[in-house]
Chains A and B, each alone.
Chain A
């Protein structure tokens, strides 16, 4: 089964609002990453957070990691229509770089 599970499955917001997506995973990890996928395209890396980090920022992105709850959240601030995409979390286990993905959150930002 998938290592990561995103919540919600779908999210629709207005431009300018913040979007929060959550990810839960099952086993110990080295890193957790977030990727974005535009319709019909490959995935693009957004941000990586290591297991010993609790929060990380990159531009309008903020990622948090709670290893005790095995969960992470991705916050996109001041969303834009161009942020419309699917967002996936991915984890690699402590035994190596086997990268596994969750089911994703479909974000729609309405102009």
Chain B
């Protein structure tokens, strides 16, 4: 199916564990983004990527790692999860006309 998909949709993990959130898009869009959205707030940019093997920090990158070995995938890794990383994480991609397409989100709870 065409689109942008995130997995898992829900994840509970313990403090200190490493967890990876997956994002896959089928359009071959160049730009991909990871955002976090805390309850009642807007989206804060964690990392973004302009193309395969090109990534850059956003507003809140500490504690997160990204990679982009293939254009269609943009995984986000929490190296050692903390309770403050409990949030809803959204992945997005942008094609040529700058309209962003969002995944359904991953709700992550760190206990």
Contact = CB atoms under 8 A, between A and B. Distances in A.
Contacts of A101: 35, 42-45
B105 A42 contact: yes
Interface string B18-62: 000000000000010101000001111100101000001011000
Contacts of B50: 96-97
A41 B102 CA distance: 9
A76 to B, nearest CB: 19
Contacts, number: 65
A108 interface: no
Contact of A41 (B31, B58, B99, B105): B105
A97 to B, nearest CB: 5
Contacts of A103: 41-42
Where chain B touches its partner, the secondary structure class is strand
B102 A42 contact: yes
**Residue of A42, A96, A98, A104 most packed against chain B (CB within 10 A):** A42
A100 to B, nearest CB: 6
30 contacts: A1-B59, A2-B42, A2-B44, A31-B98, A33-B98, A33-B99, A33-B100, A42-B102, A42-B104, A43-B43, A43-B100, A43-B102, A45-B99, A45-B100, A45-B101, A90-B100, A92-B98, A96-B50, A97-B94, A98-B45, A99-B33, A99-B45, A99-B48, A99-B92, A99-B98, A100-B58, A101-B35, A101-B44, A101-B45, A104-B42
Interface of A: 1-2, 6, 30-31, 33, 35, 40-45, 48, 88, 90, 92, 96-104
Interface of B: 31, 33, 35, 41-45, 48, 50, 56, 58-59, 90, 92, 94, 97-105
